[in-house]
Structure 1
Amino acid sequence: MRNELLFNNKRWSIPDIINKALLDYQQWQESLNIHRHDIDQKEQHKDNNIIKSLWDVLSKAQDYCCFVDASWLSLTDYAGIGWVLYDKNANIILKGMASIPPTTTLIEAEVEALRSTIVELRNLGYKGVLFCGDPSTIYKNITIQDPKEEMK
């Protein structure tokens, strides 16, 4: 309506302005509802995928599954590491997190996160743990043995 007034010198009556405002409001509400519905469907689908993938991973675990992650910003900043230990029923058993001295790369921080998690869980006596994390190159090539078996 403002453009009509500025460019075409057309004036609208007060009832027309109110009707146009109500129509714009209704269209706005409809578009918001459609957008919210789309977001809800995407979130629901996303949540279902997460739950399925968690169960897929847990089904491969012997007794426990531990998800390990690291956060790395730069060569000079401390890195953050964290892990969550689940049982076969997807119950959280333990969580851990720490900051570590700066590392040269994200992979180095991820490896340190895995190493410190393995040491911690081993010290607590957990066995049959499947470890999962971001860089699959690390996890594909690692086999962890019980130290008692290594001594035999």
Structure 2
Amino acid sequence: MSSSFFTNFHYVIACHEKAKAIDDPCAWIPWILWRIWKNSNSVVFKGLDFDAQITISKAKEDAMEWDERNRIANVSLQRNTDNEERKSWKPPPVEWLKCNTNASWLLVEERCGIGWILRDEFGNFKWMGAWTIPKVKSALEAEAEALCWALRMMVSLGYQKLILETDSLNLAKSVNQETTFSQLAPIIQDIRSMLTQIPEVKVVFYHREGNEAANRIAKKSISSSIRPCLLKRPMKVS
């Protein structure tokens, strides 16, 4: 140790920075210094004195508490970041297109509104479709109808690199042969058959927050009883 206060202080701080875990006494250095300062105030203003062992013990508690709160804050921040990332639509890779599909189903009336929107790697709008379909027995069937119609349009337009994105996990699993739903067998077979007509294509699941545009189109479709409608420019869906 040196006789210089600043040299010694720098040495102490350097020891703290080298600490790899909170249970390393070197990690407690800032709180030890804090406790020494608090103890000096207690002696001057309250006449209270604390020995070295109590000071170190309190500093350790402070360090542990700070570490725990910091860890919780980091976890919370990560969750918020994940949620924000989940909410945004993700563009496809370079030279690919992404088609988001969705359906809005009415149980009592057994009909649905379906919608899809096609965008490029820059998020630029290419095409969109909207349709109201009667006699649909389930929400899953409605989602399948949306995907099937969108895919049929993609095949007719001749696209070569395509991602089809749905917020129905069961539908994505069924198309990718990870699970089966017997009531959807005919339409799933149609979807798989059409997929073979596109050189590079994939059907993926994504959370509803990232599929909001297609969701709005589907809701507009069911509220307005739209016949099959294919648009080259966006329609108003607010």
Structure 2 length as normaliser, TM-score? Answer: 0.37
Give a deviation string over 1:81-116, Cα, whole Å, max 9, x none.
Answer: 000001111111111101111211000000011001
Q: Does 1:108 align with 2:159?
A: no
Q: Secondary structure at the match of 2:170?
A: helix
Q: Show structure 2 runs of 5+ residues with no match.
A: 1-79, 177-194, 200-238
Q: What is the alpha-carbon distance in structure 2 between the residues aligned to residue 50 and residue 147 of structure 1?
A: 29
Contact 1:68-1:131 at 8 Å conserved across structures: yes
Letter in 2 for 1:54: W
Q: Secondary structure at the match of 1:122?
A: helix
- RMSD after superposition: 2.9
Count of matched residue positions in the alignment of Structure 1 and Structure 2:
101
Give a deviation string over 1:51-71, Cα, whole Å, max 9, x none.
Answer: 97423x524x86100100000
Aligned to 1:20: none
Q: What is the alpha-carbon distance in structure 2 between the residues aligned to residue 132 and residue 72 of structure 1?
A: 18
Q: Secondary structure at the match of 2:154?
A: helix
TM-aligned CA deviation for residue 147 of structure 1 = 6.7
Aligned to 1:49: 84
1:59-138 superposed matches below 5 A:
59=93, 63-138=96-171
Q: What is the alpha-carbon distance in structure 2 between the residues aligned to residue 136 and residue 62 of structure 1?
A: 26
Name which one, 1 or 2, has greater alpha-carbon Rg. Answer: 2
Aligned to 1:146: 197
Aligned to 1:58: 92
TM-aligned CA deviation for residue 121 of structure 1 = 1.3
Contact 2:97-2:119 at 8 Å conserved across structures: yes
What percentage of residue pairs aligned between the two structures are identical? Answer: 29
Contact 2:110-2:138 at 8 Å conserved across structures: no
Q: What is the alpha-carbon distance in structure 1 between the residues aligned to residue 146 and residue 96 of structure 2?
A: 21
Structure 1 length as normaliser, TM-score? Answer: 0.56
Structure 1's consecutive aligned runs of 4 or more residues displaced over 6 angstroms after TM superposition are none
Letter in 2 for 1:64: L
